[in-house]
Structure 1
Amino acid sequence: MTRKLDLNLLLALDALMTERNVTRAAARLQTSQPALSAQLVRLRAMFDDPLLVAGSRGMTPTPRALEIAPRLSELIGEFRAIVQPDHFDPLTSEATIQIGSPDAMHNGLAASFATWAERAPNIRLAFIPLTRLNKPDIDQRMATGQLDLLLTVLSMMPERLHTRHVSTESFVCALRGDHPFNKRVMSMEDLCALTHVIVSPMGGSFVGDIDAALAEHGMARKVVASVPSFMLATNILYESDFAAVFPRTLALSLGSTLKLFELPVPIPTGKIAVGWHERTHRSPPHKWFREQLIDVFLQRKRADEPAKVIPGARIRPR
């Protein structure tokens, strides 16, 4: 039997899959909670599946719902692209854009928020940490509308996303501003003599690229703490004699509060990229914001042409 297509039901399912909460999904659709609950009953009958099951942290999608969600989001995105007016004005747009990114990259964008708010006063930006999310998790959230844009290392980008390489990040050794280590150049022996905290976004790792580089020289550092964010690591540095390996951009943004040194041994750089799903590829507000975001990195690249790096050298704030 052919089932009658009801676009409103599909929009309801898309909102429920995105919000995982009836109250928030109803607000998103500008409808009442009872009306949306009634639509969910009809959706369950249509698909002969519970679709979303109530849990302690909101609604949990069934395997059938997870199978449907990516195709549904793409379908709705294409439909909106068809009916959306050609003209887009950032001054009047009321879009909400959800950006997934590590906390180290949020910090580097702080100076841009006032500019974005002036250019698009009613667009809301939600920066969402990627802590403990792997590639499949990120892919699913991009497909189902829980994330609209990614700003992270290229290696974490799901393969089917559109991507734009915007920056190459190097790393430095960071100490608190009044740390007793006060040499002009940090050697490998100096680095290994310090006590370290490591940032592990996925949680629990005590090994980073610097450890592999030191091991090639028969050396090892002492890591006593593994934390999930650079914000926490920074606060630990402020209150201790610990050291940490930080992204250069983040470390420089903290100015004189930290004492910075080039690493005495080279480690791989990180390629930073902006990524987006096909469902937002043609969406005017999303396209506008990703162009703004990419432009921030292009301007930074022009302004911050790197000087010659001397291994272990003290880095002076500009």
Structure 2
Amino acid sequence: MIEGITMANIRNVDLNLLTVLDVLLTERSVSRAAERLNLTQPAVSGALKRLRTTFNDPLFLRAQQGIRPTPFALELIGPVKAVLQDIDTIFAGTEFIAETADVTFTIAATDYAQTTFLSPLIKRVKATGPNIRFSVVSADSKRMAEQLDRQEIDFAVTVPEMSPPNPPSIELFEDRYVCALDAGHPKAEHRLSLDRFCDLDHVLVTPSSDGFFGPTDEALRKLDRERRVSVTIPNFLSLPSILKDSEFITVAPERILRPFEGDLKIFPTPFPLPRFRMIGVWNNHSDKSPAHSWLRDQMTELAAEMR
């Protein structure tokens, strides 16, 4: 229940109004919502006025660019999507026609997943469904369970450690950890021994603020060794530029580093590390959605090609 509003109440709202509300929550703009719905802006504004009366809440406030939802409106995202998905399932049966579909998928993903998996996935999907759209947001392990439950996101592509406990999921692919340093680094010509590896200054990529410790350090601890982590960064975006023309070294998934092989020297780690796993997760509410099922199939097929 949301402040007295139940799913039954929402199901009694005019379906056309719920569709307008869903698009407004996605677009955060009356003009863009009107364009997507093939309606005039006055028609969308009129629907919003009726929605405000129905829910006894402003729902959206003016922002510097477009409109922003009120806290109450944010709480409606999941229930509204659930009702519309139920309706879609009834009318669509088990068939999803990608070529003519007009649907938006919201996917939370790490920067690694955005680069290595979502980029080819989006190209693959758009080649079949030109009107299918993607809204990609940064993965947030602290909010992921809530985002999935409220259907603020449709999928998350992440590592198991960031995933909520026990959601529906699929194994996507694995990557291996490798070492990388600047191609002009004095140690770049040789495979490093464990001693030399530990003596260098390291860059650690970690989305958390838990300090200078990661999977590499955990593996080293089992060997009764430790390295010197000098820099931590929250994502892989700036890693190549930090390594270039420096004496830093990093341990990172191979797929994220290979595009920079000309500027970087990439080689195996001097000790074994667990594989880097990527999974796709979603909410139980989406299991029977033809659109979601179709996208899961696309993800599975792409992942198989990447193995």
> Alignment length, in residue pairs?
297
Asked if 1:155 is matched to 2:164, the reply is no
Counterparts of 1:206 and 1:282, CA distance in 2 = 43
Aligned position for 1:70: 78
Asked if 1:221 is matched to 2:227, the reply is yes
Larger CA deviation: 91-100 vs 162-171: 91-100
| Structure 1 contact 18–145 (Cα < 8 Å) conserved | no
Relative to structure 1, the CA distance from residue 143 to residue 237 in structure 2 (aligned partners, 3 Å threshold; closer, same or farther) is same
Aligned position for 1:45: 53
Counterparts of 1:125 and 1:61, CA distance in 2 = 21
Asked if 1:251 is matched to 2:257, the reply is yes
- Deviating above 6 A after TM superposition, structure 1's stretches of 4 or more consecutive aligned residues are none
Offset, 1:208: 1.7
Relative to structure 1, the CA distance from residue 69 to residue 251 in structure 2 (aligned partners, 3 Å threshold; closer, same or farther) is same
Aligned position for 2:176: 170
Aligned position for 2:5: none
| Structure 1 contact 53–61 (Cα < 8 Å) conserved | yes
- The alignment partner of 2:303 has SS state of helix
Aligned position for 1:289: 295
TM-score computed with the length of structure 2 as normaliser? 0.79
Counterparts of 1:24 and 1:140, CA distance in 2 = 27
Aligned position for 1:25: 33
Relative to structure 1, the CA distance from residue 290 to residue 257 in structure 2 (aligned partners, 3 Å threshold; closer, same or farther) is farther
- The alignment partner of 1:38 has SS state of helix
Q: Deviations over 1:283-318 (max 9, x none)?
A: 4443323212212222332xxxxxxxxxxxxxxxxx
Q: Deviations over 1:132-165 (max 9, x none)?
A: x2342x3444455553332211232334742112
Q: Deviations over 1:184-212 (max 9, x none)?
A: 43233212222222223346853322223
Relative to structure 1, the CA distance from residue 174 to residue 114 in structure 2 (aligned partners, 3 Å threshold; closer, same or farther) is same
Offset, 1:280: 4.1
CA RMSD in angstroms comes to 3.3
Counterparts of 1:52 and 1:160, CA distance in 2 = 34
* Equivalent residue runs for 1:25-174 within 5 Å: 25-56=33-64, 59-84=67-92, 87-109=95-117, 115-118=124-127, 120=128, 122-126=130-134, 128-130=136-138, 133-136=140-143, 138-142=144-148, 146-159=152-165, 161-174=167-180
Structure 1 unaligned regions, length at least 5: 302-318
Counterparts of 1:94 and 1:39, CA distance in 2 = 21
| Structure 2 contact 240–260 (Cα < 8 Å) conserved | no
